[in-house]
Amino acid sequence: MLTEEQKKRYSRQIISPSIGEEGQEKLSKLRVLQVGAGGLGSPCSLYLVAAGIKELTILDNDVLDISNLQRQILYNESQLRGVKVELAKDILSRLNSEVQVHAFKDYIDENSIKKYLKGQDFIIDCSDNLKTKFMVNKVAVDNNMKCVIAGIKDFYGQIMTINPKTSACYQCVFPVPEKEDTKAPPGNPLPVIGVTPGILGTLEALEVLKTTLNLPNLENKLLMVNLLDLSFNIIKVVKDEHCICSKEL
C-alpha cells in the first residue's frame, strides 16, 4: 500500500492510465543493479530514483575527471577527483530519501559482480566498453535476470531489453568481438556529445520502468538512434538457437 506521502510525491505518474496506484506499488518494490555511473548512468539513476523504485545498487570504479563533466550530469566542478559512486550515492539519496541507494567502488568482472546479484530484479549496463556489455549480458542470461544494454558513440546510440527466457540477448545480435577490441580505450577515447548518453541513459531508465509495468518495451527489438538526423529506428531481432541464451537454464 502506498502512503499518503507517496501518493502525493508520485501523483503525476499515478494519474497516468498506464501506471496508476497499482503500477506505482510495483515500482516501489523494484530492485535494480546498475553497472556504471558515468554518461549513461547519470540520467538512468536520476530517473529511476526519482520514479520511486525500492533499491538502486550502483557499481563503478572511477574517480571524477574534468573531462567527465561534459556528459556525466550527476556531478559538478567541486567534486573533481572524488569517487563517483560515493558522490552518486549522496546526490541520489538527497533526491529521494525513500529509495535505498547502495554504491560500491569495485572493478567489475564476471566474478566480482556475483556478490551484488542477490535479490535484484534488473541489471542495467551503463558502461563505456564492449567487454562489460557482453559480461552484463552473460550474467543476465546465466541468472535469468531482466537486463537493459545501451551503447553510444558520437551522435549515435543503440539500446535493447533482454528477458533471457523469452527474448533475444545482446549476443544473439552482436558477435562477440576479439579480445583486443573489447577493452575500454583510455588513450583513445570515443567521440561523444553529452546529449547522446543523456538520451540513451534516460531510455534505459524508461525500459526498466515500462518492463516492470508490463508496458511495451524493447524485447526482441534493437532501437537505433541517430541524433544527427534525429531518426529512431527499431530493428526486429530474433533469438539465435545456438546462442548462450538458448541453452537450458
Residues near Zn ion (CB under 5 A): 169, 171-172, 243, 245
Cα first-last separation, the chain: 34
For residue 172, the minimal CB distance to Zn ion (Å) is: 3
The 3 state secondary structure assigned to the chain is CCCHHHHHHCHHHHCCCCCHHHHHHHHCCCEEEEECCCCCHHHHHHHHHHHCCCEEEEEECCECCHHHCCCCCCCCHHHCCCEHHHHHHHHHHHHCCCCEEEEEECCCCCCHHHHHCCCCCEEEECCCCHHHHHHHHHHHHHCCCEEEEEEEEECEEEEEEECCCCCCCHHHHCCCCCHHHHCCCCCCCCCECCHHHHHHHHHHHHHHHHHHCCCCCCECEEEEEECCCCEEEEEECCCCCCCHHHCCC
Query: Which candidate, 75, 35, 40, places its Cα nearest to that of 58?
Result: 35
